[in-house]
């Protein structure tokens, strides 16, 4: 398989939604319904980098903002996001989305949130790349169709996603349990780089669940799971988050959060995060744990930073 063919096949996969391993720090890519559970005006930065066997790196950068509006005992949250997804130096996806969610207070400790979001993206194959796919053993063969025709091509497309999320908190206002399901890319837009072709962006079902099974004086354990089904990209994340409380004051809780998950794409996911009322910083690494690995799934590094600016009362 040539480098061009490999990269082009990965571009098809990249047209699908980004999947951040620390999905609890990416509400807009996990469940539009979870937007409504954001209690603070906040800004989130997410970065993901993964290497492939051709010596290239894929990089995804995301910037999100959330603004909650209290309506009696309920909450309306407006959110926005900008995404830059680089497929080595070969291709990229740029775009943004706007989302809105409404959270209904069911009991003093539980909420049910409904959310929707719409985005607009541009997918582009860079023209500063040479395929060399018409050369066989150093000899030019004009009978081979060149892949250079797709270089410099762009396609723009809209997206629409819907979701619902339920969350239960403890007496301290900390997350105790959650369950949610979402439908991404409901309209399945055409993302083909060929005007006469059809390459639909497949719809995606995403479900997540978690429950804190242990809460000690300082230490807590919350098993979580996430299921993603999108065309041939189907996988399950199952594992747990482990929290250690550093301080608990009127300002809020400061803690260290460790995460360990198994991804059925033969990956082990390890994360560590420092959380306080106004700031969260987390990093994770996906480590291959199987022999038959996809070329796009070598080591994967992630960084998540969240600034909470103001709490709406």
Average pLDDT over residues 300-306: 97
The CA distance from 305 to 274, in Å, is: 10
CATH topology of domain 3-311: Porin (2.40.160)
Give the tokens for residue 185. 């890319």
pLDDT digits (tens, 9 = 90+) for 242-286: 999 999 888 888 999 999 999 998 899 999 999 999 999 999 999
pLDDT band at 191 (very low <50, low <70, confident <90, very high): confident
Average pLDDT over residues 291-313: 74
Check pLDDT > 70 for residue 110.
yes
The CA distance from 90 to 311, in Å, is: 42
pLDDT of residue 313: 53
DSSP string, the chain: --HHHHHHHHHHHHTSPP--SSGGG-HHHH-GGGGGG--EEEEEEEEEEEE-TTS-EEEEEEEEEEEEEEETTEEEEEEEEEEEEEETTTEEEEEEEEEEEEEEEEETTEEEEEEEEEEEEEEEE-SS----TTEETTEE-TTSPPGGGGTT-EEEEEEEEEEEEEEEE-TTS-EEEEEEEEEE-TT--B--SSTT---B---EEEEEEEE--EE-SSEEEEEEEEEEEETTEEEEEEEEEEEEEEEEETTEEEEEEEEEEEETTTEEEEEEEEEETTEEEEEEEEEE-SSS--TT-S-EEEEEEEEEEEE--
Listed range (39-48, 154-163, 187-196) with the worst mean pLDDT:
187-196
Question: Whole-prediction pTM value?
Answer: 0.84
Mean pLDDT computed over every residue of the chain: 86
Residue among 171, 244, 179 at smallest CA distance from 211 = 179
């Amino acid at each position: 398989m040539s480098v061009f063919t490999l990269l082009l096949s990965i571009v098809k996969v990249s047209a699908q939604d980004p999947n951040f391993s620390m999905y609890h720090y990416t509400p807009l890519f996990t469940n539009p319904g979870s937007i409504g559970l954001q209690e603070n005006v906040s800004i989130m930065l997410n970065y993901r980098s993964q290497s492939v066997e051709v010596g290239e790196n894929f990089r995804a950068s995301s910037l999100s903002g959330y603004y909650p509006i209290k309506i009696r005992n309920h909450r309306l949250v407006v959110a926005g996001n900008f995404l830059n997804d680089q497929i080595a130096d070969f291709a990229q996806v740029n775009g943004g989305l706007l989302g809105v969610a409404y959270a209904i207070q069911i009991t003093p400790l539980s909420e049910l949130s409904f959310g929707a979001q719409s985005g607009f993206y541009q997918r582009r194959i860079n023209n500063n790349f040479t395929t060399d796919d018409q050369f066989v053993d150093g000899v030019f063969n004009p009978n081979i169709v060149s892949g250079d025709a797709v270089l410099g091509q762009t396609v723009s497309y809209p997206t629409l996603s819907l979701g619902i999320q339920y969350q239960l908190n403890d007496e301290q206002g900390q997350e105790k349990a959650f369950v949610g399901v979402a439908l991404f890319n409901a309209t399945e837009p055409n993302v083909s780089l060929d005007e006469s072709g059809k390459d639909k962006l497949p719809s995606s079902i995403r479900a997540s669940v978690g429950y804190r099974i242990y809460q000690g004086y300082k230490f807590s354990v919350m098993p979580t799971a996430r299921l993603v089904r999108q065309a041939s990209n189907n996988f399950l994340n199952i594992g747990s988050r482990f929290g250690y409380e550093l301080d608990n004051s009127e300002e809020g809780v400061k803690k260290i959060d460790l995460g360990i998950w198994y991804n059925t794409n033969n990956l082990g996911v390890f994360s560590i995060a420092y959380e306080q009322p106004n700031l969260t910083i987390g990093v994770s690494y996906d480590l291959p744990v199987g022999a038959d690995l996809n070329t796009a799934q070598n080591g994967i590094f992630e960084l998540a930073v969240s600034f909470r600016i103001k709490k709406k009362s």
